[in-house]
């Protein structure tokens, strides 16, 4: 008896039983399967991921191949991976920036927790994964992004738009490009808000998957302007492990939740130190405070980044640690944070609910 010939409907039916592990839905209903081709007993198809930084791409590829190989008459399966970044869910009433799919804010309640370090390396990590990325330095009175990326000079204007400078294939804009070195920016709130608006609307950001905004610490005018003026796909809260840092970070979190901005999760920076001589781990700022807070609030914990001299050296030299020490523990930790951020955006956009947890202030002990 001749063996039944496999059809495209058979392939899609098999792949309809494979779930995207983080989104909780099958690959077919998510429109992630394209270009199904069948030649005798050989089947090929493309899985279009929701982000090139998908942390579970190997699992998805493995399960998709296995599902189709199990079909009668299939002798070989070729799985191609592609990606198309999904735009996150945003609050209504915010005017989008043309061709920018996701705006991500990186916030903290206080200075000195490494928020800009996380922002810079998050941008580089997402770019390394294959995404198109921009980075806006919205810390008007303390702009450090250009230093950490080794950028200087003044952007040019073309067709009534400001062209960003570029570092490591990331589009970058900062007030530091327009202010002489060493000169302070002494502005009242309305001027800060106006500058933020101009950097969104008057800069030619091009076609971006992610625009990361490095905010100043606290809950001032820059953060308020951002949350009310543009559609945020999500906010990343950066804190160090100790309770006093989280006490401040929780206020920033509460402000964004009151403004209906989706919270992507919490990053614990300066989480621990590994002695380079004896390899002992030292919890300089305590242990696990940000992770415990995330658990109590029902928020995702996006990862912990160690305190390491290579991060400081990289920031001061203008070469992000992902480039200066690409195989280091800090670089691996920051890439994992980027993967979790990208996954969280997809979950909020395409997952079963997209609901945000209700914020309840923690009692500090």
What residues contact 161, with CB distance under 8 A and at least 6 apart? 202, 203, 204
Q: Would the CA dihedral through 122, 226, 263, 53 be positive or negative?
A: negative
CATH number of the structural domain spanning residue 15: 3.30.300.130
Residue where the block lists tokens 């309840």: 360
Does some domain include residue 363?
no
* Structural domain harbouring 133: 103-350
Buried b vs exposed e over 232-250: b needs ≥16 C-beta within 10 Å?
bbbbbbbbbbbeebbbbbb
Going by their DSSP bridges, the two strands 263-268 and 234-239 should be labelled as parallel
Domain shared by 179 and 295, yes or no: yes
Q: Regarding beta strands 25-26 and 19-20, do their DSSP bridges make them parallel or antiparallel, or are they unpaired?
A: antiparallel
Which three-class secondary structure state does DSSP give residue 214?
A: strand
Residues 136, 75 share a domain: no
- 52 belongs to a structural domain: yes
Per-residue pLDDT tens, the chain, 365 aa: give them. Answer: 445 688 999 999 999 999 999 888 999 999 999 999 999 999 999 999 999 988 899 999 999 999 999 999 999 999 999 999 988 766 666 778 889 999 999 998 778 888 999 999 999 999 999 999 999 999 888 899 999 999 998 999 888 899 999 999 999 999 989 887 777 777 776 787 788 888 888 999 999 999 999 998 877 777 777 777 788 899 999 988 887 777 778 888 888 888 888 899 999 999 888 888 888 888 888 777 788 888 888 889 999 999 999 999 998 999 999 999 999 999 999 999 999 999 999 988 887 644 444 433 333 32
Burial per residue of 169-189, b for 16 or more beta-carbon CB atoms within 10 angstroms, e otherwise: ebbbbbbbbeeeeeeebeeee
For tokens 């050296």, the residue is 313
Q: Which tokens sit at 292? A: 């415990």
Give pTM, 2 decimals.
Answer: 0.87
């Amino acid at each position: 008896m001749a063996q039944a010939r496999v059809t495209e409907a058979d392939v899609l039916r098999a792949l309809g039983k494979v779930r995207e592990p983080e989104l909780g839905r099958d690959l077919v209903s998510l429109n992630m399967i394209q270009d199904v081709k069948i030649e005798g007993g050989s089947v090929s198809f493309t899985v279009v991921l929701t982000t090139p930084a998908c942390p579970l791409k190997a699992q998805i590829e493995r399960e998709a191949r296995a599902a189709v190989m199990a079909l009668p008459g299939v002798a070989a399966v070729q799985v191609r991976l592609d990606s198309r970044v999904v735009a996150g869910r945003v609050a209504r009433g915010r005017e989008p920036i043309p061709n920018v799919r996701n705006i991500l804010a990186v916030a903290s309640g206080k200075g000195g927790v490494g928020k800009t370090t996380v922002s810079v390396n998050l941008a580089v990590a997402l770019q390394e994964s294959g995404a198109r990325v921009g980075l806006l330095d919205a810390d008007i009175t303390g702009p450090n992004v250009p230093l950490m990326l080794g950028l200087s000079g003044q952007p040019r204007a073309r067709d009534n738009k400001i062209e960003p400078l570029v570092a490591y294939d990331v589009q970058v804009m900062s007030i530091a490009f327009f202010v002489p070195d060493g000169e302070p920016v002494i502005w009242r709130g309305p001027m800060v808000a106006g500058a933020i608006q101009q950097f969104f609307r008057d800069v030619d950001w091009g076609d971006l998957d992610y625009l990361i905004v490095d905010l100043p610490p606290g809950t001032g005018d820059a953060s308020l302007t951002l949350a009310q003026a543009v559609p945020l796909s999500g906010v990343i809260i950066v804190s160090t492990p100790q309770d006093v840092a989280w006490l401040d970070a929780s206020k920033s979190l509460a402000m964004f939740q009151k403004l209906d901005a989706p919270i992507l999760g919490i990053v614990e920076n300066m989480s621990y130190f590994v002695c380079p001589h004896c390899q002992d781990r030292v919890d300089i700022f305590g242990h696990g405070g940000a992770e415990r807070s995330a658990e109590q609030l029902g928020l995702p914990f996006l990862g912990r980044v160690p305190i390491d001299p290579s991060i400081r050296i990289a920031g001061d030299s203008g070469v992000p640690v992902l480039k200066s020490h690409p195989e280091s523990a800090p670089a691996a930790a920051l890439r994992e944070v980027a993967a979790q951020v990208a996954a969280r955006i997809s979950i909020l956009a395409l997952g079963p609910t997209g609901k945000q947890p209700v914020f309840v202030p923690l009692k500090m002990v």
